[in-house]
Amino acid sequence: MAQLYYRYSTMNAGKSTELIKVAHNYEERGKNVLCLIPEIACDDGKPVISSRIGISREAHIVSQRDNILTMFADLNAMKKIDCVLVDECQFLTKQNVEQLAEIVDSFDVPVICYGLKNDFRNQLFEGAYHLLVFADKIEEIKTICWCGRKATMVARISEGKIVRTGDQIGLDKGEYISLCRKHYNDGTIYEPKN
């Protein structure tokens, strides 16, 4: 029985790497996957899912206006799709998430979404909120803060300091790092030098 999965983490935890690995495993067994990435997350509008470790794969771009259910049905009619994989799912809309849930329910095809949960202000993204509501399985992909504790926060850094205000989506507005709650709250972004 297919399910809607939401696999979340902070930055640099290997979400895109995991997605590419899952796609490879399906394809190695002769299965077809549909990889999706929100338009807002595409570098230079290229339909590519990229990992920071240097691996990538092509994907279909999804805009906030697209009907993912219709896209899936059209592509599935041409060639049976066995799994849908979504990168940067935090940028999805409520309607996008509902459409992914409908793919699971109507076509019995698993949908696995990878993305952030909270932004640099520690607020939920729209896609994350609705995946927390609709997902059958919610799984955390863990990574660590510079101190070795589990990182649960995303910090936006500008001029060496944490920025706590501004637009939620600002891919070009600074560097993003993962921190534990303690260091996010106290603003310590790197190990102090003695």
Q: Which residues are catalytic, by number?
A: 88
Q: Which helix (H) or strand (E) holds 194?
A: none
Please give the span between the terminal C-alpha atoms of the chain, in angstroms, as a whole number: 55
The tally of CA atoms less than 13 A away on the side-chain side of residue 186 is 7
Judged by DSSP in three states, 54 sits in coil
What the block records as the tokens of 143 is 């990574």
- Amino acid (one-letter) located at 45: G
What the block records as the tokens of 92 is 């999805």
Left if phi > 0, otherwise alpha if psi is -120 to 50, otherwise beta: which for 182? Answer: alpha
Strand order in the sheet with 153-158: 161-163, 153-158, 175-179
b/e map 173-182, b = 16+ CB within 10 Å: ebebbbbbee
DSSP classification of residue 37: E
